[in-house]
A and B are shown apart, each in its own frame.
Chain A
Amino acid sequence: MIEVKNLTKRYGDHLAVDNSSFTVQDGEIVGFLGPNGAGKTTTMNMLTGYLSSTEGEILIDGIDILEDPVHAKMKIGYLPEVPPLYPEMTVQEYLQFALALKKVPAKNRKEQVEKLLKQTRIKDMQNRLITNLSKGYKQRVGLAAALAGDPDVLILDEPTAGLDPKQITEFRDLIRSLSTNHTIIISSHIMQEIQAVCDKVIIINHGRIIAIDTPEALSQRIMRNNKLELRIKGPRAEIVNGLKEIEGITSVDITRIREEGSIDIQVETEDEVDVREQVFEMCSEKHFPILLMSISEMTLEDIFLQITGEREA
């Protein structure tokens, strides 16, 4: 379990992290979400003992990272934003070094390297020099090093940044498979990323925590506007007028035209009013075929913009 109490980091007059408190339970996957420069990396650097905090305390399974760094660091595997790789080493040599740093006895290292290679699926690369690896493989080697010594807690700073979509999916699966026996903290500025893997989201902006919740609860909590996406075939003006006459609809916007002879419309309604049946009846009455109708759920992006907007207003 990770407990963070009143964590603050000051660089001169600049507050990088401002009085943050949160806890992470064993086995949870927690996502730090925030724009660039929000203080995600600084917080992670303090959690791993790379930077010290100006104020506040960090307890890893009850051990203070500043008072007993050696024992606290034993429990943590860290993958920084830029994986700390030595280009002149081979993958195998690098993992040997990572295990030695984590104080794994020499006689177990060979077998542990095999395990790490298998776990992160880089066995084919074991004798290649790190400098010759692609970005995706480098990221995996970094993750393998973070897993060295079997730490309980994994801290991954933007682990999928710069990977291609296929690699991102693979990396996500890897993280999910690790979640069964690790506590994981991930940071990202991409909402879908966090939504896809995390049990809990911590939203950070300007060094302050502005919300802690599950991704679903966050969506519900802030779902004020019901938005409906429609694609209807028929004359443009009549469709718009027909929709505007339905009670409860507050705005009708034509978003784009995707199919010949039809228009895509986004409809906003009053809170907690379901207008789908009325829309269907209006259209069937006038013989406008509905090609598509869906409720647009708020993405974390919307939530994020909304929360940060509220705070600033």
Chain B
Amino acid sequence: MKAVYLKELRSYFTSTLGYIYIAMMLVIFGFYFFLYNLYAGYVDYSYVLSNVTTLILFAMPVLTMRLFADELKSKTDQMLFTAPVSTAQIVLGKFFAALTVFTITVVLTIPQPLTIVGLGGKLPVPRVVGAYIAMYLMGIAFISIGMFISACTNNPVVALIVSIAVFLLTFISAGLGDLLPSTITFTVGLCIVLLAVLVWFLYRQIKDVYLSATVGVLGLGGLIALYFLKPSVYNGLVSKALNWISITARYSDFYSGIFTFAHILFYVSLAILFVFLTVQRIEKRRWS
């Protein structure tokens, strides 16, 4: 794991990509810092941290796009996966390398709040620390999702575009829920469509008509039974679900000063889930 980690970390700085990423991030942070703190004169640095999330969405994929896509493209993955190292170790080595570059960037922004203190501003320390933790956790989740997307293609540019699209979707999903109709019929319909997609996906993966059909029929039965027995479940389900998967919605709690363990758990488990999925994705490539 250490060998892969060091190689990956070095490659960020021997190629221009690491520098481009750090420059992008610092420009984003610097822009909001100038706008809110220096120009408008607010002392609360957590404003900056809450607003940068929108633009970070575009910078984070730069960090993760070539993690696996590039190796698959140049076939250097053959060296990694024929070495006496487990797939999980390779994935973790790459994950921690990206995390290290992200951490360096975050550390490089710390002089900004310190400037506020230096200029005599009264910084709300707990809020700023909370917002930093939230931003950092969100970054970790973005890195693991981006890494998974990179493992699904052998073209880094595709990985970049898909990652941005996925991150944008999680960003707007909370707002999207309020726009969709909240009637029970619509919700039930959407659930059935989702079930159909799930069954189709299951069939593609296991190629077993009977098992997929059984899952489909049971799922459909469950949805209909629920509709007659306890229709209240469907009330506002769509917007609740979309809010739940929104990575950024949780973030607003942090910067308004609410520090919830559940939210931390959400980000951490999201990161672990996608690291796990990356390992599975790579293992599957060998078996197909």
Contacts and interface: CB of A to CB of B under 8 A. Distances in A.
A76 to B, nearest CB: 7
B286 A50 contact: yes
A49 B82 CA distance: 6
Given A82-B75, A100-B3, A50 B82 contact: yes
Nearest to A98: B79
A52 interface: yes
B65 to A, nearest CB: 16
Interface stretch (A66-74, A172-180, A251-259): A66-74
Interface in A48-81: 48-52, 69-71, 73-74, 76, 78, 80
Contacts of B83: 73, 101-102
A82 to B, nearest CB: 5
Nearest to B80: A101
Interface string A91-111: 001000110111100000000
A70 B7 contact: no
Given A89-B14, A97-B7, A100-B3, A84 B75 contact: yes
Contact of B3 (A74, A85, A101): A101
Contact of A78 (B15, B78, B85): B78
Contact of B79 (A49, A74, A84): A84
Contacts of A87: 74
B11 interface: yes
Contacts of A82: 74-75
Interface string B71-94: 000111111111111100000000
B85 A88 contact: no
A76 B82 contact: yes
Contacts of B205: none
A218 B170 CA distance: 65
A52 B82 contact: no
B54 to A, nearest CB: 32
B228 interface: no
A145 B82 contact: no
Nearest to A129: B14
A50 B81 contact: yes
B261 interface: no
Contacts of A101: 3-4, 79-80, 83-85
Contacts of B281: none
A49 B15 contact: no
B84 A80 contact: no
B260 interface: no
A74 B84 contact: yes
A151 to B, nearest CB: 10
Contacts of A48: 82
B75 A80 contact: yes
B84 A73 contact: yes
A86 interface: yes
A89 B10 CA distance: 9
B272 to A, nearest CB: 23
Contacts of A71: 84
B78 A86 contact: no
B288 A11 contact: yes
A73 B74 CA distance: 21
B286 A51 contact: yes
Contacts of A145: 79
A101 B76 CA distance: 13
Nearest to A77: B82
Contacts of B75: 80, 82, 84
Interface string B1-34: 0111011001100110000000000000000000
A84 B81 CA distance: 11
B16 to A, nearest CB: 10
Given A86-B76, A88-B11, A97-B7, A103 B82 contact: no
Given A80-B75, A85-B76, A49 B3 contact: no
Contacts of B39: none
Contacts of A84: 74-79
Contact of A49 (B7, B14, B74, B81): B81
Nearest to A88: B14
A50 B3 contact: no
B210 interface: no
Nearest to A85: B76
Interface in A178-200: none
B76 A52 contact: no
A102 B85 CA distance: 8
26 contacts: A50-B82, A51-B286, A52-B286, A52-B287, A69-B86, A73-B82, A76-B82, A78-B79, A80-B78, A82-B74, A84-B79, A86-B7, A86-B11, A87-B74, A88-B11, A88-B14, A88-B15, A89-B14, A100-B2, A100-B3, A100-B6, A100-B7, A101-B79, A101-B83, A102-B83, A103-B84
Interface of B: 2-4, 6-7, 10-11, 14-15, 74-86, 286-288
Interface of A: 11, 45, 48-52, 69-71, 73-74, 76, 78, 80, 82, 84-89, 93, 97-98, 100-103, 145
Q: Which 4 A-B pairs have the closest CB atoms?
A: A100-B3, A84-B79, A101-B83, A73-B84
